[in-house]
Amino acid sequence: MRLILMGPPGAGKGTQAKFVAEHFGVPAISTGDIFRANVSEGTELGIEAKRYMDAGEYVPDEVTNKMVRNRIDEDDAKPGFLLDGYPRTLAQVEELDGMIAFTGHSLDAVVCLTVDADEIVQRLLQRAQVEGRADDTEDVIRRRQEVYAEQTEPLIEVYRERGILISVDGMGPVDEVTSRIFAALDDVQQS
């Protein structure tokens, strides 16, 4: 399975990505996690990415695309993968299309988690307390939401037109959302 998990900041992508990836036996590839790992290791990539992350902006496409290309090339991602937080721009969609076409495969589905705006702010503020992420302050959360609306929301239409978009209600208990995603994806796997 080659899957994408989309949704606004705080929709629960990271949490669900781990369950879904395990269910289908593919690695969950989170660009946010890879950037954060680089930030804590103080790599050159981390130093560059941090400037953007702390401001709630997207890391430039060239940097992000190269990182994903390298990750997808690793052996564990050959049978499939679940992308969490990538692609986020139209340029990244194109780049990903090229990467997948090169392997002779295609994208199976794009799951988009839908959550209402009030719930998202609550979740992000709670996450700020639990995880202490530097980009979970109120100003940065607001900026991340704007950037999502401007640059990432248009991707939903792109994948809908391709007929591979699955919208899943991301509201409610985590395990219920997981069950909804599994039910939707099991249909894809059988078709």
Which residues are near ligand AMP by CB under 6 A?
A: 9, 31-32, 35, 52-53, 56, 58-59, 64, 85-86, 88, 92, 135, 144
Question: What would the two tokens of residue 147 be?
Answer: 């950037």
Q: Which is nearer to ligand AMP, 135 or 178 (CB)?
A: 135
Q: Which is nearer to ligand AMP, 95 or 185 (CB)?
A: 95
Q: What is the C-alpha end-to-end distance of the chain, expressed in Å? A: 12
Residue 133 is a catalytic residue: yes
Compute how many other C-beta atoms are within 10 angstroms of the C-beta atom of residue 84: 24
Single out the catalytic residue among 18, 69, 127, 160: 127
Minimal distance in Å, beta carbon 135 to ligand AMP? 6
Residue 127 is a catalytic residue: yes
Q: Which is nearer to ligand AMP, 123 or 144 (CB)?
A: 144
In which order are the strands placed within the sheet that holds 165-169?
28-30, 81-84, 2-6, 109-114, 165-169
Q: How far apart are CA 33 and CA 71, in angstroms?
A: 12
Q: Is the Cβ–Cβ distance between 7 and 13 less than 8 Å?
A: yes
Residue 162 is a catalytic residue: no
Minimal distance in Å, beta carbon 187 to ligand AMP? 26
Identify the three-state secondary structure at position 30.
Answer: strand
Which residues, 6 or more positions from 3, have their beta carbon under 8 angstroms from its beta carbon? Answer: 20, 24, 26, 80, 81, 82, 83, 107, 108, 109, 110, 111, 185
Minimal distance in Å, beta carbon 92 to ligand AMP? 6
Q: Which is nearer to ligand AMP, 53 or 120 (CB)?
A: 53
Residue 71 is a catalytic residue: no
Q: Which residue is nearest to ligand AMP (CB)?
A: 32
Residue 142 is a catalytic residue: no
Minimal distance in Å, beta carbon 118 to ligand AMP? 19
- One-character DSSP codes across 111-140: EEEE--HHHHHHHHHHHHHHH--TT-SHHH
Single out the catalytic residue among 133, 142, 160, 162: 133
**What amino acid positions are annotated as catalytic residues?**
13, 88, 127, 133, 144
